[in-house]
Amino acid sequence: MTRTALVTGGTRGIGAAICLELKAAGYTVVANYAGNEEAAKSFTAETGISAVKWDVGDYQSCVDGIAAAEAKAGAPFDILVNNAGITRDGMFHKMTPEHWNEVIRIDLTSMFNMTRPVIDGMRERGFGRIINISSINGQKGQMGQVNYSAAKAGVIGFTKALAQETARKGITVNCIAPGYINTEMVAAVPANVLQSIIAGIPVNRLGEASEIGGLVTYLASDAAGFMTGSVLTINGGQYMA
C-alpha cells in the first residue's frame, strides 16, 4: 500500500520541495499551510498535492487539521514532517514578549501539537517516520535570533528524547538542521548581510530546497530504519557540528 506523508508548511519554500520529492518517491502527500491562500492555490494547481490550512501553534487546530488531512490522504499518516516555522528577528534587548512567544509557539510547541495526535496510531501500526526541521542556528546560536535559536535547539532535544521512547515501536524520529537555503525566509535577510553569510559558507552558495527534500525522502524510507535520534547537518560546510 502507498505510504502517506503530511508536511507542515508544505506549500512554499523548503516544505514545498519536500512535498515534491516525497510525491516523486511514490508517497501520497498532503501539505499544511498557515494562510497564504495564493501560494497554496498555485502549489496545489501545479503539483496536484492537496493543501489544508491550520495553525500548527494551536493544539486543537492540529487535531482537527490532521483529521481533515487524513481524509484527503485516505489513510492515517505514516510520515510526519514538522517543517513549518517562522522568524521574528531582533536583538534580545529589544525583543518583545510577543516575538519570543510567537516563535516558541510556532517553531517548538508545534512539535508537540503535531506529533502528539499521530503518535498513538503509529505505535499501534508499528511504523512511523517523524522528521523535524531544526536549523544551523539552533546548533550554533545566532545573534539577533535568541528566540529562533532557542526554539530550534529545542527541536533537537525533542527529537532525541522522542526517538528513545518510540524506537521499539518501529518509529524513527530524526532532525535536519539546514544552513541557509534559498527561500523567501532567506530573501528577507538584507542583501549586505546575505553576502557576508554566503562568504562564510565553504561551498560559496546558498542551499537549494530540493537538497533538503532529498534528505527527508531518505529518512522516510525503509533504508533509514537504523537511523534515529540523529541530527543531520546540511549547510555547505558552514558549521561542522
> Which of residues 157 and 170 has its CB atom nearest to ligand NDP in the complex?
157
Instruction: Work out the widest C-alpha separation in the chain, in whole angstroms.
Output: 53
Q: Which residue from 115, 229, 221, 113 is spatially nearest to 172, judged by alpha carbons? A: 229
CA–CA gap between residue 155 and residue 237 (Å, rounded) = 21
Q: How far apart are the first and last CA of the chain?
A: 38
CA–CA gap between residue 210 and residue 152 (Å, rounded) = 21
Crossing angle (nearest 10°) for helices 110-125 and 146-166: 10
> Which of residues 27 and 180 has its CB atom nearest to ligand NDP in the complex?
180
Q: How far is the CB of 99 from ligand NDP (least distance, A)?
A: 14
Q: How far is the CB of 223 from ligand NDP (least distance, A)?
A: 24
Those residues whose C-beta lies under 8 Å from the C-beta of residue 100, and which sit 6 or more positions away, are: 147
Q: Which residue is listed with cell 523567501?
A: 184
Q: Which residue is listed with cell 516555522?
A: 85
* Residues annotated as part of the active site: 148
> Which of residues 102 and 224 has its CB atom nearest to ligand NDP in the complex?
102
Sheet holding 50-53, edge to edge: 50-53, 28-33, 4-7, 79-82, 128-133, 171-178, 231-234
C-alpha cell at 219: 529518512
Q: How far is the CB of 227 from ligand NDP (least distance, A)?
A: 20
CA–CA gap between residue 79 and residue 194 (Å, rounded) = 33
Which residues contact ligand NDP by CB under 6 A? 8-9, 11-15, 32-36, 39, 55-57, 83-86, 106, 133, 135, 178, 180-181, 183-186
> Which of residues 95 and 198 has its CB atom nearest to ligand NDP in the complex?
198
| Residue 146 dihedral angles phi and psi, to the nearest 5° | -60, -40
Q: How far is the CB of 173 from ligand NDP (least distance, A)?
A: 16
Q: How far is the CB of 200 from ligand NDP (least distance, A)?
A: 14
> Which of residues 1 and 86 has its CB atom nearest to ligand NDP in the complex?
86
